[in-house]
Amino acid sequence: MLHFLGQLYGPFFDLHNWETVISSGNDWLIIFSLVLIECLLSVDNAVVLAAQTQSLPTRKEQEKSLFYGIWGAYLFRFIIIGLGTYLINFWEIKVVGALYLVFLVFQYFTKTRVKHTRKLVKDKKKRWLPLFWSVVLQIEMMDIIFSVDSVLASLAISSNPVIVLIGGLIGILAMRGVAEVIMNLMRRIPELEPMAYILIGIIAVKLFISIPAIDIEIPATLFGFVVLGAIVITLIIHVIRKRRHARATAAKTVKHPSKSES
């Protein structure tokens, strides 16, 4: 049992592994990709968590519940990443994981994910704990539910648990700290959200083609450049759409001037 636990979590305590990751530019590119995907996938998660804390009477208690929640999220990430790096070696898990990621993409583009998120906010259960600890428990449960997809996507990009852990921890911290900024950014550039789910579709393909029957491995560094390219293309599409909208608005104004001008 101890040997098995050592296999699962030993890499987290390998200082050489940490030194290699921290000093590698390619690894930081992968970590950036993981953080970006974490943030984009977790916008609705942040809304759910914010909604959970609103039942607490004071701002201090709301902030305290999120503080406890973030440490619980970190502990869960550590546990699930260690277990995931073991399970992801089985090709059956890769197939199931790829199908699950495809399902997430389908959910998003059919908008059923949004309905599910709203349902989670609305669901109320009888409390058997004090209000504060009930909210903390709800936050932990939401973190567990919502982190499965991001951890699976991360492990499909990189098999190094240290890289996945760093990306996940930074992503959680960024999501808690700048959730409102990210949500405002995605309102201003709405193309970012579908771009994230297109990337999830690509990750599903990457995971599926790595099974032994196909045995095609796409390097994690290459995927990092794919993410950067996707961001650039998304921004270009946003600028083009914005300009077209401005031209269309200007054309309507010229064609149908207001009565005050006539």
CA distances from 50 to 43, 65, 137 (A): 11, 10, 14
Q: Contact 192/234 with Cβ under 8 angstroms?
A: yes
Q: Contact 12/82 with Cβ under 8 angstroms?
A: yes
CB-based contacts of 204, cutoff 8 Å, min separation 6 = 97, 98, 99, 101, 102, 105, 156
Residues of the chain under the 50 pLDDT cut: 115-121, 124, 260, 262
Q: Is the pTM of this model over 0.85?
A: no
Structure tokens at 99: 């199908």
Per-residue model confidence as pLDDT tens digits over 174-222:
776 665 566 677 778 888 888 888 888 888 898 899 888 888 888 878 8
What is the distance between the alpha carbons of residues 146 and 32, in angstroms, rounded to a whole number?
Answer: 20
Q: Check residue 116 and give its pLDDT.
A: 47
Chain centroid offset of residue 169 CA? 11
Q: Check residue 42 and give its pLDDT.
A: 67
Q: Contact 56/132 with Cβ under 8 angstroms?
A: yes
Q: Check residue 226 and give its pLDDT.
A: 86
Q: Contact 52/137 with Cβ under 8 angstroms?
A: no
